[in-house]
Amino acid sequence: MGSRLLAALSMCAMALALAYALTVGVFSIYIPIELRPLAKILVTSAYNESTPLFSSMTPEIVTAVVWDYRGIDTFFEVAVFYVAIVATAALFRGIERSAPRTSVGLSTIVRTVTRIVALMIVVVGSAIILHGHLTPGGGFQGGATIAVAVALALVAYGLAKLVEHRIDYETSLKVRSLGLLGLSLSACIALIAALILNTNAYVFQNQPKTYAPIGLPYAVDGVLISGTVLLLNIFDGIAVAAGFALLLILLSQPEDVARERVLSSEGGE
Amino acid sequence: MLFLELVLCLVAALVSLVGTYLAIVEKDLLKAVVFSALQSTAYAFIYYLLMAPDIALVYIPVAVGLYPLLLVIAIRKCGRFEEV
Amino acid sequence: MDLETFAKFVINVVAVVLVLNAAIALYGLLARPNLLKKIIALTIFSDSINSFAILIGFRLVKGFENPVPPVITSVPPSESYARWFLAKSVDPLPQALVLTAIVINLAVTAFLVALAIQIYRVSGTLDARTLAYEKARRGEER
């Protein structure tokens, strides 16, 4: 252990020396003083009431880029996420309902603390999701935070107790599909409205654009909701949280049943 | 003000280097996961100090919470030590 | 050392450390026999690359004050606030790209962990050398 720590510290010294040589020498990483032109456009147009046709009306510029400027990118990245989860579920097919009868959790103290803390984590995660268009946060961040609560409950209570309370494979799969359906629908909400009103609109349209006068209001009663960004954040948070819960439940299935099932199917082939 | 931030960024970068090295050379996989979580914490600090609070918010639950849990579950199922 | 040189030095340190981390993780990915160790190395590698994208989005401000995160805190922004914000905000685009990459990385890592568990169930080992040897032996039997 001591020699390893020494090696790590000597690597630190090497990094410092190399960085000092880079600083005083010829080569250095270019650190801009001015913003890049594309970033300038994003920063000036993300919330700008004087040019409403070019603005996304979202004060949080990262969320604006994720769900408005590059919305289709994000949608297909969520599709990659979904495919990875479906692949895991397909790999573990046949063993997803073999929950143990007896629960192997931790002691009463841990369980009580977990009950309090998990609730608080869910509340914080929901706040991160719902304020995603105003403060740092959004669907991905809040969804991952809520999944931590599920992970904590899984460790403290054991899988059997969770299955008893209907937090199981079926439920999380259904909630995951619901979130994805909501994501697709709120991406097309301007398009559906335009079909009814007989005008033009784009997929993933948030605010009204030129030749596409349909758009969600960015403020309701003085409260800023940024059009579709709030809806997309909420559904994405639900989808991410349920997806991670599904992964955790799949991976913590009891091993003896699973091995027996896998080996029997291996011999049958 | 910027000076303090830069010093913290320096310390976090060096801690992440130590964490990565120890995580890779460690034979005990459970300890390797712990060192990897140390490296992740240092990265979360770096993200915060480089003015990316969104990334810090998504990185802390993912890399310090969920990802070690997945690996610990796998280690419990598959054995703890790496043979050399 | 004045503040500008120190800022450049620290950014260089972070860049060098990220490159070293990526190199160490690449070594672990290629040379370590255990599949779970390979997965740990892979996540460290991808996180280092993501951090490099964030580092490229960073900037320094005239007068070397703190830059601010890309969040408009005064709604609606006044003319003077918008000018101040444009002069101090960091680049939001790399952050938006990395944000989704991290979450998807976790899902793909979970798939890799599931594959490793399945390999262990079928063959009883996670050692890449033993697995390759077994594969070669089976090929000879056929």
Quick: pLDDT tens for A138-179: 889 999 999 999 999 988 888 888 888 888 888 888 999 999
Asked if C92 and A61 come within 8 Å (Cβ–Cβ), the reply is yes
pLDDT(A269) > 80 = no
Hey, which residues does C71 pair with through a beta bridge?
A60
What are the domain boundaries of chain B? 2-78
Task: Return the closest-CA partner of residue A143 out of A157, A154, A128.
Answer: A128
Taking each helix axis from N to C terminus, what angle separates C35-57 and C3-31, rounded to the nearest 10 degrees? 160
* Mean pLDDT for the stretch of residues B53-73: 91
Question: What value does the mean pLDDT take over residues B72-83?
Answer: 84
Contacts of A106 by beta carbon, 8 Å cutoff, 6+ apart: A155, A156
CB contact under 8 A, C16 and A91: no
Nearest CA in chain C to B19: C21
pLDDT along chain C (142 residues), means of 10: 83 90 93 90 93 88 83 86 88 90 90 90 84 82 73
CA distance A81 to chain C (A): 5
> Which of A244-253, A260-269, B42-51, C83-92 has the least mean pLDDT?
A260-269
Least confident of A65-74, A128-137, A206-215, B50-59: A206-215
Q: What is this model's ipTM?
A: 0.91
Q: Is C116:C42 a contact under the CB 8 Å cutoff?
A: no
- A80 Cβ contact partners less than 8 Å away, ≥ 6 residues apart: C104, C107
For A202-227, the DSSP string reads -TT--S-BTTB-----SEETTEE-TT
C133 and chain B in contact, CB less than 8 A: no
Residue A267 has pLDDT above 60, yes or no: no
Q: Which chains touch B (3 or more CB pairs under 8 A)?
A: A, C
**What's the CA gap between C134 and C132, in Å, rounded?**
5
Residue A236 CA to residue A81 CA, distance in Å, equals 11
Number of domains in chain C: 1
CA distance C48 to A22: 20
Q: What is the pLDDT of residues A236-245, one digit of tens each?
A: 999 999 999 9
For C97, the domain range is 3-141
Q: Are C104 and A77 in contact (CB under 8 A)?
A: yes
**CATH code of the domain in which C117 resides:** 1.10.287.3510
Rg from Cα positions in chain B: 15
Please, what is the end-to-end C-alpha distance for chain C in angstroms?
69
Side chain identity at residue A150, one-letter code: V
The model's pLDDT over A1-49, given as tens digits with 9 standing for 90+, comes to 788 888 888 888 888 888 888 888 766 677 788 888 888 888 888 888 8
- Surface-to-core class of residue A56, CB atoms within 10 Å of its CB (0-12 exposed, 13-18 middle, 19+ buried): buried
Smallest CA–CA distance, residue B41 to chain A, in Å, is 16
How far apart (Å, rounded) are the C-alpha atoms in residues A107 and A211? Answer: 63
CB within 8 Å: C90 and B50: yes
Distance CA A149, CA A169 (A): 16
- How far apart (Å, rounded) are the C-alpha atoms in residues A205 and A216? 9
Alpha-carbon span A150 to A146, nearest angstrom: 7
DSSP string for A138-186: -HHHHHHHHHHHHHHHHHHH-HHHHHHTT-SHHHHHHHHHHHHHHHHHH
Closest-CA residue of B relative to C48 is B43
Residues of C in contact with B50 (CB under 8 A): 54-55, 57-58, 90
Contact A32 C114 (CB under 8 A): no
Helices assigned H by DSSP within chain A: 2-24, 37-45, 61-64, 71-91, 108-130, 139-157, 159-164, 169-187, 189-197, 228-251, 255-268
pLDDT digits over A97-108, tens only?
Answer: 666 666 677 788
Considering chain B, what is the average pLDDT of its residues? 89
**Run of H or E residues at B39:** helix B29-49
